[in-house]
Amino acid sequence: MDEEFMKEVIEEAKKTKGEYKTPYAALIVRNGKIITKVHNEIKKNLDPTCHAEINAIRKACQILKTTDLSGCTLYATCEPCSMCFTAAWWANIPKIVYGASIEDATKGNRRQIEITTKTLNEQSGNKIEIKRNVLRKECIKLFERLL
Amino acid sequence: MDEEFMKEVIEEAKKTKGEYKTPYAALIVRNGKIITKVHNEIKKNLDPTCHAEINAIRKACQILKTTDLSGCTLYATCEPCSMCFTAAWWANIPKIVYGASIEDATKGNRRQIEITTKTLNEQSGNKIEIKRNVLRKECIKLFERLL
């Protein structure tokens, strides 16, 4: 099931074109149903906080009319940065699934803050189940689209 | 000068009333001029990412028409959480000034992710100058307003 949702999120990233092309997309799923499917919009919105995961969390809260996403899973093409991991923590998201790691992104010439979700989770009470490397190779390929 | 701006940000937090009362406010300053002065809007916007610092960064980017706040300083009543610290990092903010610490907030019965800006800064290349405990007592008093 996680692989199916990862396929969806990869397709969402692939949809981005031209100057708004990005390897980053995210999905919020509740009870097996996709609530939001979005991508990074930093350039489009001129907003450095518009990472895919932040966009997904904000939009899901609007749709579900709550700041509590405790029944939801966050899927992302890339390991969430410390901003996005913490946003998930504040929103009580219990599970994160991702493809490429922050290290993969750095190798793919993407600017990254090099703090892993493993470190952050350990420092904040290990509240979030993290599933790593799901369709990792396909997610790494997204970085190549930008070269 | 930092104390003057901290007084401004404390006043911004004090302005919040009723169900939207919050101890958290933030300021973005460039060349000695206040660009944005905002507070936490999680409840108002039903958005767990609407911490004061995130709001300040987003608004400053809209006003200055850039995602690069490298000439700016971020002032906050409380030590930024890992979400807000990382947002400042992405926006290239070189200096953060704050009053109360995350530990003070926890003691003041505020839910907090207990990762300090010191730890985050060390883990991300020590790029940000952090000035701590400026008008700390006045900022701690803001937590009491909520009791």
Query: Do the Cβ atoms of A57 and B42 come within 8 Å?
Result: no
Q: Tell me which chain B residues have a C-beta less than 8 angstroms from the C-beta of A113.
A: 86, 89-90, 124
Distance from CA of B50 to the nearest CA of A (A): 9
Question: What six digits make up the tokens of A7?
Answer: 């396929």
Give the number of C-alpha atoms closer than 13 A to the C-alpha of residue B109, restricted to the C-beta side: 8
Q: Is the ipTM of this complex over 0.90?
A: yes
DSSP string of A24-74, one letter each residue: -EEEEEETTEEEEEEE--HHHHT-TT--HHHHHHHHHHHHHT-S--TTEEE
Model confidence pLDDT, tens digit, residues A7-27:
999 999 999 999 999 999 999
Distance from CA of A114 to the nearest CA of B (A): 6
> In this structure, how many other beta carbons lie within 10 angstroms of the beta carbon of residue B67?
18
Model confidence pLDDT, tens digit, residues A51-109:
999 999 999 999 999 999 999 999 999 999 999 999 999 999 999 999 999 999 999 88
Mean per-residue pLDDT for B132-138? Answer: 98
Specify the pLDDT at position B109: 82
Residues A99-113: b if buried by 16+ CB within 10 A, e if exposed: bbbbebbeebebebb
Picking from B58, B84, B123, the nearest residue to A115 by CB comes out as B123
B58 CB-contact burial (10 Å; exposed 0-12 / middle 13-18 / buried 19+)? buried
Specify the pLDDT at position B146: 75
* Residue of B12, B41, B53, B79 marked active site: B53
A53 catalytic per annotation: yes
Picking from B66, B81, B123, the nearest residue to A86 by CB comes out as B81
Q: Which residue from B minimizes the CA distance to A61?
A: B47
B147 pLDDT band, cuts 50/70/90, is low
* Chain B CB within 8 Å of residue A91 CB: yes
Q: Which residue from B minimizes the CA distance to A45?
A: B62
**Residues A96/A73, Cβ–Cβ less than 8 Å:** yes
Residue B13 has pLDDT above 70, yes or no: yes
Q: What predicted TM-score, i.e. pTM, was given to this entire model?
A: 0.97
Distance from CA of B55 to the nearest CA of A (A): 10
Query: Do the Cβ atoms of B54 and A58 come within 8 Å?
Result: no
A147 pLDDT band, cuts 50/70/90, is low
Q: What are the CA-CA distances from residue B51 to residues A29, A126, A131, A145, B24 (Å)?
A: 24, 22, 27, 34, 8
